[in-house]
Chains A and B, each alone.
Chain A
Amino acid sequence: MKKVITAIVALVILALMAWGYVDSASHGSEGHDSGKVEPKEIIFEHLGDAYGWEVPFSHTRKIPLPIIAFAQDGSLHCFMSSMVTSGDSYQDGDVVFKISTNEESGYKGKLVQVLGDGSEYRPWDFSITKNVLGIMIAAALVIAMAMSLRKWYKREGMKGPNGFKGMLELIIEFVYTDTIKPIMGKEAPKYGPYLLTAFFFILTMNLLGLIVIFPGGANLTGNLAVTMVLALITFAVTNLTGTKHYWKDIFWPDVPMALKCPVPMMPLIEFLGILTKPLALMVRLFANMLGGHMVVIVLIVLIMVFNGMFGVGVGAGTSVVSVALALFMLVLDTLISFIQAFVFTLLSTIFISMAHIHGEESKAVTE
């Protein structure tokens, strides 16, 4: 009975939404002259980085964020993004900045310096963009969560936490005690902090990305730069702490001589393996999160596309289906957020522990 009521309420909400959509579309058609919808633009604008943070119900009003850029002559320039996001040029000292609209240069949507001859130069851009701020918010949230748990243990000692802290503890138990410890063995306390940090950071970024409005909405783990940094750190930890036996197994593995002596086939494959591991980490997280976000946005944009093609009625009908499907996708993405954070941590754990072999086999032969 309860389920039936929930379903009916959901349907009513969806129907109201359709009606509201028709209403707004008929009103908006006068003021909004941009009748043509550019799905690709909308999708990549939402998935990409930006110099301001959009607020709900407005496309032009944005939370201004600081822009930090080194111009061509090496001078440092800091100003708020609200100076340039409207499309204007901004003169800071004798340097003119604007956001590029040039399709050919490859800097479209990025901050560029307008040189004297009118050509565009891409400065060293250390701006606190939407994604950078999102990363900082995620980091702050992770610190707040971990510190709240620490404070609990400081204050309560042996008493078990409940509520949110209990859930945190459960996740830590799941990731550290049940996953990292069995794989790493006695090295777990050394690498556990890195792996736990990575897990909670990725999880928080994933979940923040699913929240549509500020402070969420930044597509963090669906951005190659973010996953690349994470994968590179695992790569660095793996290879910088690798043992002698790890390197021996790569460049002189225990295979028949023909496979490694005249033509170093196995060493080559093993060496490629070193590079593909972080690549797989990077692409897996990126593609999973980007895919989830993209499906949701495509479903929503579909409403506008169908509206433009077939009229308001079809758009209204599509909105019901699209929102229902998008909701399903978001629920699925919540699950994927956990799974991908865990998979990244699990694979990092395995890669690191694999680089810490101490040659048990070779020892057994010599004995």
Chain B
Amino acid sequence: MELFKPEFGLVFWMFLAFACLYFILAKWAWPFIIKSMDDRASLIDKGVAYAQEAKSQLDNAKAEADALVADARKQQADILRDAAKMKTEIIEQAKAEAAVEAKKVTDAAQVSIEQARKESEHQLRQDVGSYALQIAEQVIRQNMSDDNSQRALVEKLLKEVESSN
């Protein structure tokens, strides 16, 4: 029963063959193959993670863009509303300023008119005074011959005054 009796020659060659096989494969094959497989596995894992991240970023980007557009719309509306408000304010202000200016002008005019009136009144008073004095002088000069002549004189003088005015 040679099957159950290990043959020395076969043991020797088996050991030699296995040792050679081990040294060749352990040096050149297995570490390199395992490293390559691990590298590829990690590359695939990384790729999956990257793709997922990219997808979520893409989704986020869309949401962000939408938010930006909405924000811009809101700002635009605000600006337009502000502009309208500002326009009315400016108009109001201009109106008010114009009114104030006009009032100032009218006031100044009124003052000058008043002054002129006062001056002319003053003038008139002086003129009337002087005329009255002249008339009184004349009346006194003609003296009291008769009442009629005096009265005629006064009448004549008054007519002169009237005509000179």
Instruction: Give A contacts to B, CB under 8 Å.
Output: 44, 47-49, 109-110, 124-129, 131-132, 135-136, 139, 142-143, 146-147, 149-150, 153-154, 157-158, 160, 169, 172-173, 176-177, 189, 192-194, 196-197, 201, 222-226, 228-230, 233, 290
Contact = CB atoms under 8 A, between A and B. Distances in A.
Interface string B1-20: 11111111111111101101
Given A124-B8, A230-B18, A149 B29 contact: yes
Contact of A193 (B2, B17, B22, B36): B22
25 contacts: A47-B3, A109-B2, A125-B7, A125-B8, A125-B9, A127-B9, A132-B13, A135-B13, A136-B17, A139-B18, A146-B29, A146-B33, A150-B28, A150-B29, A172-B37, A173-B37, A189-B34, A194-B22, A194-B26, A197-B22, A197-B25, A201-B21, A225-B10, A226-B14, A229-B11
Nearest to A160: B40
B39 interface: yes
A44 B17 contact: no
A153 B40 CA distance: 10
B50 interface: no
A228 B6 contact: yes
Contacts, number: 119
A117 to B, nearest CB: 25
A126 B11 CA distance: 10
Contacts of B132: none
A172 B34 contact: yes
B30 interface: yes
Contacts of A193: 22, 25-26, 30-31
B33 A228 contact: no
Nearest to A111: B9
Contacts of B17: 135-136, 139
A139 B20 contact: yes
Best-surrounded residue of A48, A192, A226 (most CB of chain B within 10 A): A226
Contacts of B4: 224
A47 B39 CA distance: 44
Given A125-B7, A142-B21, A158-B43, 12 more contacts: A127-B9, A128-B13, A131-B10, A132-B9, A158-B40, A176-B34, A192-B30, A193-B31, A196-B30, A225-B6, A225-B11, A290-B3
Interface pairs A-B: 6 shortest CB-CB: A193-B26, A225-B6, A146-B29, A153-B36, A225-B10, A193-B30
B63 interface: no
A225 B20 CA distance: 18
Contact of A223 (B3, B24, B31): B3
A128 B6 CA distance: 15
Given A124-B8, A229-B15, A143 B25 contact: yes
Interface in B43-93: 43
B32 interface: yes
Give chain B's interface secondary structure class: helix
A56 B143 CA distance: 193
A201 B34 contact: no
Contacts of A49: 2, 7, 10
B14 A229 contact: yes
A233 B18 contact: yes
B25 A196 contact: yes
A229 B7 CA distance: 11
A224 B6 contact: yes
B21 A197 contact: yes
Nearest to B14: A229
Contacts of B5: 224
B37 to A, nearest CB: 7
Contacts of A128: 13
B24 A158 contact: no
Contacts of B13: 126, 128, 132, 135-136
Nearest to B1: A44
B41 to A, nearest CB: 8
Nearest to B4: A224
Given A126-B9, A129-B10, A48 B3 contact: yes
Contacts of A173: 37
Contacts of B33: 146, 149-150, 153, 169, 172
A222 B8 CA distance: 16
A331 to B, nearest CB: 24
